[in-house]
């Protein structure tokens, strides 16, 4: 087992609590499934959101999932770079998994696939 960083991103349909929570839950579910990660393997989850997503903390939505209430979470605002993708959540999951760096599956959903077409799930 080794500590690995699992990356992902997803675009959100609208700036509402429901949409942000649904997107965050989908992203985490897909990322963890793709890497066969269970919550007890996770050390921390860090979400960043673009400045146009202000209706809710993404981590509050993920905390609603079974077995996620004890994982340390952190929300932050993404650096506002001109021309960056709007309405986007990004995540970094730190987990102990039995995969090499090149075996880790990073998950990009929705329009966020354009951010990393070389590794999009």
Contact between 37 and 93 under an 8 Å Cβ cutoff? The reply is: yes
Closest CA to 121 of 108, 111, 110: 108
pLDDT for residue 120: 60
Contact 58, 75 (CB under 8 A): yes
Question: Shortest CA distance to 58 belongs to which of 23, 32, 104, 34?
Answer: 23
- Structural domains present in the chain: 2-115 (3.30.1330.40)
Average pLDDT score over residue span 52-75: 96
User: Given pLDDT bands bounded at 50, 70 and 90, which one contains residue 121?
Assistant: low
Determine the Cα–Cα distance for residues 68 and 64; give it in Å rounded to an integer: 7
Q: In what helix (H) or strand (E) does residue 121 lie, and over which residues does it extend?
A: none
**pLDDT tier at 53 (50, 70, 90 boundaries)?**
very high
Output the pTM of the full model. 0.93
> Cα separation of 109 and 10, whole Å?
5
- Rounded CA-CA distance 116/8 in Å is 9
Residue pLDDT, tens place only, 9-34: 999 999 999 999 999 999 999 999 99
């Amino acid at each position: 087992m080794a500590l690995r960083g699992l990356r992902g991103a997803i675009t959100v349909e609208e700036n509402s609590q429901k949409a942000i929570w649904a997107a965050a839950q989908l992203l985490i579910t897909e990322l963890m499934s793709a890497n066969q990660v269970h919550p007890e393997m996770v050390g921390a989850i860090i979400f960043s959101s673009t400045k146009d997503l202000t209706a809710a903390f993404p981590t509050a939505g993920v905390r609603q999932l079974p077995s996620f209430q004890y994982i340390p979470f952190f929300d932050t605002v993404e650096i506002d770079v001109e021309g960056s993708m709007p309405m986007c959540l990004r995540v970094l999951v730190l987990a102990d998994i039995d995969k090499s760096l090149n075996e880790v599956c990073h998950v990009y959903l929705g329009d966020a696939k354009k951010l990393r077409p070389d590794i999009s799930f």
